[in-house]
């Protein structure tokens, strides 16, 4: 594949993600290897300056459209003494409806972004690189409908020094994924 296959990455040169496991977090490598090879081939990776991993800085530096980036956030839902987790994938131009749709989906009385240390420890990924590819088994992955229909989106790679690009439809087929209308507001 060529850069033209992942234009959402702007000026970056990308290669098929499994060709560069050194640019991926360990859970991401494992998850990509479990995908159908045809699906795995749709995922590109590009190396970036880790200081530019945050979405706005990344888009500005590399000419990637902000509406072509999707953020993955980890949410903790609590009901009594029980805490459950989910990941949400929404376009960078929106915010996840944590206190409405996500809270209800987790059947929680209270929902909030998981503390950074918890999100990092539970996913095995770096903060600023958390991605829906390779989430812990059993976690729901709530994907905003706008992400699911996007031709391609830029997401984290499990580490801060690279980004992945993949079709939104593939994100919507990842393990545990559920497409949710109105998740991103």
Q: What is the pLDDT of residue 1?
A: 39
Q: Which two tokens stand for residue 126?
A: 């770096």
Query: Looking up tokens 């970056």, which residue turns up?
Result: 12
Alpha-carbon distances, residue 60 vs 26, 65, 67, 102, 103 (angstroms) = 28, 8, 12, 30, 33
Taking 90 as the threshold, does the pLDDT of residue 2 lie above it?
no
Q: What is the pLDDT of residue 3?
A: 41
Q: What is the pLDDT of residue 6?
A: 86
Mean pLDDT of 166-172: 97
């Amino acid at each position: 594949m060529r850069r033209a296959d992942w234009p959402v990455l702007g000026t970056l040169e990308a290669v098929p993600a499994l060709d560069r496991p050194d640019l991926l977090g360990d859970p991401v490598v494992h998850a990509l290897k479990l995908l159908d090879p045809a699906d795995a081939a749709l995922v590109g990776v590009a190396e970036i300056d880790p200081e530019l991993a945050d979405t706005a800085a990344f888009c500005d530096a590399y000419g990637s459209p902000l509406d072509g980036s999707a953020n993955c956030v980890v949410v903790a839902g609590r009901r009594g003494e029980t805490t459950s987790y989910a990941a949400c994938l929404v376009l960078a131009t929106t915010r996840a409806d944590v206190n409405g749709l996500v809270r209800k989906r987790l059947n929680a009385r209270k929902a909030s972004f998981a503390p950074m240390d918890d999100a990092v420890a539970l996913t095995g990924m770096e903060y600023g690189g958390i991605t829906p590819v390779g989430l812990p088994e059993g976690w729901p992955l709530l994907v905003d409908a706008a992400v699911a229909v996007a031709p391609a989106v830029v997401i984290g790679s499990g580490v801060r020094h690279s980004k992945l690009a993949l079709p939104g439809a593939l994100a919507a087929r990842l393990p545990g994924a559920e497409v949710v209308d109105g998740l991103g507001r």
